[in-house]
Amino acid sequence: MMAAKSSAPGAMLVTLILLPWLVATCFYSADRVVWECHLDFEMLVTSSDQTAERTLGSYSQFFYGNNLGFSQISGRKVDFLENNQTVVHNFHRFMDFKYVQAGPYLKNRITKITHKKGDTLSDDKTLAFTSTPGEDVYLQVLKLGPNTYSFGRLGMPNQICQGRQGWLMPRLR
């Protein structure tokens, strides 16, 4: 009888200690997307030989809580050649990456690039926002609001990123 009475407060104490951790685990999972960035873009590049290329596309990044993520880029690239001809290439690619925060910067390392159906752009053609696997890309991060950030990469348009429930880059707060 005495043992039953003394174990009840101990069980209550253990429950009170473990309950917040169990609740937090249910609401936050490291393999869930905790923030994402989206950008529609248009880029026009003109060279000295009077040729030009116009790229229109959409770029999105999804970051997981375990420092892994993926990005998707799709659109079309139009080459305007010297003899008034045009060549159109479509692209649709997924890129897996690892990321780490480095002060006000974010370092992404592309681990894998996958070409999806309909991608007609060859690998020797440059494409905005893509890198070769193993290459490190540094993005400068600027806080815009409680759960909103802007990423900037040299020579590229800025991306606007939204976080979920305040878990976005806590050291920049």
Question: Which residues, 6+ apart, have CB-to-CB distance to 84 below 8 Å?
Answer: none
3-state secondary structure (DSSP) of residue 12 = helix
Look up the pTM and report it. 0.70
pLDDT digits (tens, 9 = 90+) for 64-110: 888 899 999 999 999 998 888 899 999 999 999 999 887 778 888 99
Distance CA 9, CA 11 (A): 5
Give the DSSP letter of residue 50: S
With a cut of 60, say whether residue 164 has pLDDT above it.
Answer: no
With a cut of 50, say whether residue 112 has pLDDT above it.
Answer: yes
With a cut of 70, say whether residue 48 has pLDDT above it.
Answer: yes
Domain ranges of the chain: 31-172
Distance CA 77, CA 24 (A): 45
